[in-house]
Amino acid sequence: MITRGRIRLISILVVGFALVLIGRLYFVQIVQGADFSLRANEQYMRPVSGLYDRGTIYFQDKSGTLIPAADLASGYTVAIDPNVITAGTTSPLTLYQKLSAILPLNQQTFLADATKPNDIYEEIAKRVPKNEADAVSALKLPGVGIYQDRWRYYPEGSLASQVVGFVGYSGTSTTGLYGLEKYYNNVLSRGNAGMYINPFAQIFSNIQNAVSGNQEGDIVTTIDPNVQQYMEQQLQAVQAKYHSVITGGIIINPETGVIYAMGATPSFNPNTYASVSDIAVYKNPLVENVYEMGSIIKALTMAAGLDTGLVTPTTTYNDKGFLKVDGATIWNYDHRGRGPQTTMQTVLDQSLNTGAATVALELGHQTFEKYMDGFGLASSTGIDLPNEGTNLLRTLVSPKNIDLATAAFGQGIAMTPISTVRAWSALANGGTLITPHVVSQIRYTNGTVKNISYGPGPRVIATSTAAAIAQMLTHVYQVALVNDGVGAVKFAHYSVASKDGTAQIAIPGGGYLPNQYLNSFCGFFPSVGSHARFLVFLYTYEPQGVEFASQSLTPAFVNIVKYLISYYDVPPDR
């Protein structure tokens, strides 16, 4: 006899199973209805493989509106059956003349394809728009077929192309080759693309995917297309003015690691990626390349000195304009000394190599290395982009004092821009490491959503130290840059901290290139009294006709700060 309890249990299981089926039918018919409609049409239209399918990559503006950065475009492929053509009454030349009035065809190629023996399928035109496909169809030409097609399309063109990446061929199949397309390839790929699947099979396969964790979906990035576009315009202006090899930038929230913009010029349009002359532009140099950053590293050195109690902003030393270390001579950039009462604030204000080297030498090798490791220089950042470069830190573990001294002002150590940004974010957010990232959400095809965020990482410096170095860098911007007349402007109601850097470019094997520099610039705001909302990093490699970053990058930094204040309606902090 079946007890009431068993009946109730069976009823619950039946109802639960029915709810699962109903839920999946909803996603199949409503959420994925358009896709299945296309596949249904495809059954009758295409004699070869199925329609291409892949998840969407979205940008996201400040209101949360999603803008497709990588999507699917639909159109048609026109193909011919050479067996039908050669056996028919219409000559290949006549066929060509009729088709070429509608489609851009090469006569020699068409005639060669149309007369191939024992061949039943040759594509003569791809990505044909509907109006042209309809015009071909109306001709009712023997041996000519029109088939629905779909392909990867990048609606925003070159915008953030080195972040987005592109899809290309690896062997005989397509896959993500760069950027997010590569990093999230397993999510964006559609393993069942081109297969005709019974809807009920789709239901159960989605359930299985949900259980196994092997899920397909779309990704929503943190990139704001408006901020990205403005930053790229500023980078292009620098590039055009100084004819640099490359110019790049990052705009990040130093508290959360959310990246609003990341890009470099020259870049490329992923819709026409095969047309570029130098495939190096496919790489994301802000993640993959390493550079000697120069004087922006002085801020990290000074923070270490403050955190240990070795120095305060008013601590003085005797600046002679040079410093003898291990038989070598370190000079200030202008070869001038500032005297025996030179303060640590002046070291940052006037970017004195001797002052940064003095702090590092007083800290000693082990303590200095400990702090640089703490700022994350010895580890990857964990950014969700492929091929992250490895910082070159040989001089940090060198026993030579000259290596310690030069590392203190950013020479002899090479870092990725994203690693530099992570280290500087600790100065701006109260003293902790972050995980920089460009994806905020994964929307799986089974209806579930994964929100991506990261809590604060390990503490690098004390909160009081972060406040002190932020105050010192605010003084650098307010006094040093503005008074130097290099294009900076005072923000009456906003506190802004910054430091510029000018680094010599190393020659492989030893030494430095004469009169060739890397200019870098890093700044954040609001910089006093609260944690910063925005950190801006800029660099330009081998600019021509200019030496110092204060000249080449300050105007772009100021313009970006103005734009961010306006776009995000940032309230004054003073």
Cα angle value 379/384/389 (rounded, 5°): 45
Contact by Cβ (8 Å): 527, 495: yes
Cα angle value 184/245/275 (rounded, 5°): 55
Helix (H) or strand (E) holding 287: helix 285-288
Query: What mean pLDDT do residues 382-396 have?
Result: 96
Query: Does residue 193 belong to any structural domain of this protein?
Result: yes
The answer on 306 and 170 residing in a single domain is no
Q: What is the pLDDT of residue 106?
A: 96
Residue-wise pLDDT tens digits, 361-379: 999 999 999 999 999 999 9
Mean pLDDT of the chain: 90
Beta bridge partners of 366: none
- Which residue range(s) make up the domain with 423? 225-267+282-567
The answer on 236 and 169 residing in a single domain is no
The answer on 236 and 217 residing in a single domain is no
The answer on 517 and 382 residing in a single domain is yes
- pTM given for the model: 0.87
Query: What mean pLDDT do residues 13-19 have?
Result: 65
Mean pLDDT highest for which of 282-291, 500-509, 546-555? 282-291
Query: Does residue 9 belong to any structural domain of this protein?
Result: no
Query: What mean pLDDT do residues 184-207 have?
Result: 60
Residue-wise pLDDT tens digits, 469-519: 999 999 999 987 777 777 788 898 999 999 999 999 988 878 898 889 999
The answer on 232 and 208 residing in a single domain is no
58: CATH:
3.90.1310.10
Q: Which two tokens stand for residue 246?
A: 């490359």
Reply yes or no on whether the pLDDT at 464 is more than 70: yes
Q: Domain tally for the chain?
A: 2
The answer on 536 and 490 residing in a single domain is yes
Residue-wise pLDDT tens digits, 304-334: 999 999 999 999 999 999 999 999 999 999 9
Contact by Cβ (8 Å): 558, 488: yes
Q: What is the pLDDT of residue 377?
A: 97
Question: Last residue of some domain: 221, 236, 259?
Answer: 221
255: CATH:
3.40.710.10
Whole-angstrom Cα distance, residue 260 to residue 249?
Answer: 11
The answer on 262 and 178 residing in a single domain is no
Q: What is the pLDDT of residue 533?
A: 97
Query: Does residue 346 belong to any structural domain of this protein?
Result: yes
Q: What is the pLDDT of residue 296?
A: 98
Whole-angstrom Cα distance, residue 348 to residue 261?
Answer: 28
Higher pLDDT: 167 or 203? It is: 167
Whole-angstrom Cα distance, residue 467 to residue 383?
Answer: 26
pLDDT band at residue 212 using 50, 70 and 90 as cut-offs: very low
Q: What is the pLDDT of residue 169?
A: 87
